[in-house]
Amino acid sequence: MSLQETTGVALKVATLQLCGCSGCHISLLDVGQSLIDLIKNKQIQLKYSQILMDVKNLEEKIDILLVEGCVLTEHDEEILKDYAGLAEKIVAVGSCACFGGPAAIANQFGRADVLKIMFPDSTFSRISNVPSHNLPTIHEFACPINIFVDVDFYVPGCPPESEILQDFLTAIVKGKGSFGYVKTVCDECPLKRTGESPSEIKRIVDVATLDPDKCLVEQGIICMGKMTMGGCGAKCPKAGAPCEGCRGFSLSLKEVSPSDAPEIKKALVSFVRRKNS
């Protein structure tokens, strides 16, 4: 039974932005006419969305909370917990909400180091140089949202393609909810593979003449397609750019055939060496 059928009225949806780039909201808008139709046909009712409407505080119960971004400040944490308490289902939209995203890459350096670059001088007469008057404190680590609340669905991607969000919305309106991808990006990639290993690992600036129809890994370019969750339609490799693994590990990674595994390892090892040499 779908949520909509149970309640008999429009699904109440709220979108919450934490620390992110708004790309997921833009991708949601890119759903375009279908989203407008869902709203017009009263299948979805938007209750709160800071970037799109003027509701300052969400005060009623909602069915679905779409969360974009990771948790980096005290304010992010508070508002996430508050709104999650009002929501029936919580959806982590995008790689920041699912895994932490770019802000979480900075975790390895320590927040103080990161902030020191931005606020180097002791402008204020206190220990920290970071502005703080009437502002939320910044956490040491940027965290995905499942550290703080129970997440019902994950929609990864940086940002999730609008087709994926459209499928997700349609599925959730129909009550199907869960949908996952077992395939990897490689499985969806139309580039031709012959099975040969690259003779050397190249940087993308080294090669002006890549064969646009041939697998990037086989041409010596590091591409994360083999271990990344599919669903995006392998858009980046199709355009000649290597997959950067924005959708996270594939659910089927365990099923990667043993013959593939050393290749990945070899590729990664040379990549790391190259970077550190």
H-helix segments, 87-219: 94-99, 101-105, 111-118, 162-174, 185-188
- 203 makes contact with other proteins (CB under 8 A): yes
- 50 makes contact with other proteins (CB under 8 A): yes
Do residues 63 and 88 touch, judged by C-beta distance below 8 A?
yes
- 92 makes contact with other proteins (CB under 8 A): no
Closest CA to 143 of 6, 3, 234, 20: 20
- 270 makes contact with other proteins (CB under 8 A): no
Among positions 214-243, residues that touch other proteins (CB under 8 A) are: 235-236, 238-241
Do residues 274 and 256 touch, judged by C-beta distance below 8 A?
no
Half-sphere exposure of 211 (CA within 13 A, CB side): 11
Tell the smallest beta-carbon distance from residue 43 to other proteins (Å): 13
DSSP assigned state of 221: B
Span from 124-132, 182-190, 248-256, 258-266 in contact with other proteins (CB under 8 A): 124-132
DSSP assigned state of 225: G
Among positions 56-85, residues that touch other proteins (CB under 8 A) are: 56, 72-73, 75-76
Span from 18-26, 82-90, 145-153, 190-198 in contact with other proteins (CB under 8 A): 18-26
- Binding string, 128-167, against other proteins, x = CB under 8 A? --xxxxxxx-x---x---------------xx-xx-----
